[in-house]
């Protein structure tokens, strides 16, 4: 893309940050086809692999693939057990799904942006847009965080009952005095709003920023062969560092999910 004439840094960035939206100006009813399809394909591959491993799973001597998956499973299970002391059999699978999905969607960031963009423009025409990192789309992170948020409310009501939950909204964290009902409620509203916001925006911010830095480094290639070389080296460095961010963000997302769900189980 960088060698095309009439390309400015801002048009380069803009091109890379445009979603393939259908319908193009549909307001709320727009769908980011790239985000959705990438997610579905990645999920299909990863969870398909997990399913294949599970189908061949044995309690005897495990194959290497099974050992790998079991390692992931028991690591997540241990983390969940440390934080969550309830009995719901769903929390650990939710944590696992969150981790695996977020991790592999984050990993799409390792695809070299300009090579992928070249591929996209070859297939779909010069102005075809396709963003490969679903977690750099705020829709994805909000979708995950809001799902967790709803589960949180579901578990709160399930454990404490609707009355207990409403009682808690007005009587915690400050105390049960009637003068404190309003401050308590406001505090809880802030808490309930901040959870999905920080949950989703942390992941979104990290992945979006990571993508931006790849783009900025990609622009070095517009200068000369020196720029290409230096830009390539920096790109490599950032990609290596990004392995840490990708894993860490997926881990943080999973941990927050577990923490929120276990907080929903707690009585104040």
Partner 1 sequence: MNINLTMLMQAAVFVALIIFCAKLIWPPLMRAIEARQKEIADGLAAAEQGKKDLSAAEKRIEEMLLKARTQAQDIVSQGERQKVESVEKGRTEAREEAARIVAAARAEVEQEFSRAKEKLRDQVAELAVAGAAKILEREVDPKTHAALLTALKQQL
The interface region with partner 1, picked from 27-35, 115-123, 152-160, 224-232 by CB under 8 A, is 27-35
74 versus 194: smaller Cβ distance to partner 1: 74
Restricting to residues 112-151, name those near partner 1 by CB under 8 A. Answer: 134, 137-140, 142-144, 146-147
CA distance 49 to 43: 10
Catalytic-residue membership of 171: no
Single out the residue of 115, 105, 113 nearest to residue 203, CA to CA. 105
CB-based contact 227:220 (threshold 8 Å): yes
Q: Which of 11, 198, 223, 224 is catalytic?
A: 198
Single out the residue of 40, 77, 63, 75 nearest to residue 247, CA to CA. 75
**Dihedral through CA 261, CA 263, CA 266, CA 268, nearest 10?**
-150
Q: Which of 206, 223, 224, 262 is catalytic?
A: 206
Catalytic-residue membership of 206: yes
User: What mask, x for binding partner 1 by CB under 8 A, covers residues 28 to 47?
Assistant: xxxxx--xx--xx--x---x
Length of the chain: 268
* Angle formed at CA 178 by CA 172 and CA 184, multiple of 5 degrees: 30
Residues that bind partner 1 (CB under 8 A): 26-32, 35-36, 39-40, 43, 47, 50-51, 53-54, 57-60, 62, 66, 69-70, 73-74, 77, 89-90, 92-94, 96-97, 100-101, 134, 137-140, 142-144, 146-147
């Amino acid at each position: 893309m960088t060698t095309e004439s009439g390309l400015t840094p801002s048009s380069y960035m803009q091109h890379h940050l445009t979603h393939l939206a259908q319908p193009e100006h549909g307001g709320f009813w727009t769908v980011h086809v790239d985000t959705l399809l990438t997610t579905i394909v990645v999920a299909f591959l990863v969870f398909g692999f997990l399913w294949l491993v599970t189908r061949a799973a044995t309690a005897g001597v495990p194959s290497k693939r099974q050992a790998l998956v079991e390692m992931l499973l028991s690591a997540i299970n241990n983390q969940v057990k440390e934080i969550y002391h309830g009995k719901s059999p769903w929390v650990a699978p939710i944590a696992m799904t969150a981790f695996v999905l977020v991790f592999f969607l984050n990993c799409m960031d390792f695809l070299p942006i300009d090579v992928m963009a070249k591929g996209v423009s070859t297939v779909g025409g010069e102005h075809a847009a396709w963003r490969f990192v679903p977690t750099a789309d705020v829709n994805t992170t909000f979708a995950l965080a809001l799902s967790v948020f709803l589960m949180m409310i579901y578990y709160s009501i399930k454990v404490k009952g609707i009355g207990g939950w409403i009682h808690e909204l007005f009587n915690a964290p400050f105390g049960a005095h009637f003068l404190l009902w309003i401050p308590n409620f406001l505090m809880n509203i802030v808490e309930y709003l901040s959870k999905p916001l920080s949950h989703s925006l942390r992941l979104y911010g990290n992945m979006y920023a990571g993508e931006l830095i790849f783009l900025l480094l990609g622009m070095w290639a517009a200068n000369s062969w020196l720029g290409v070389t230096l830009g390539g080296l920096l790109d490599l460095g950032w990609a290596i560092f990004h392995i840490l961010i990708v894993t860490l963000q997926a881990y943080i997302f999973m941990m927050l999910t577990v923490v929120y769900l276990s907080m929903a189980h707690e009585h104040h």
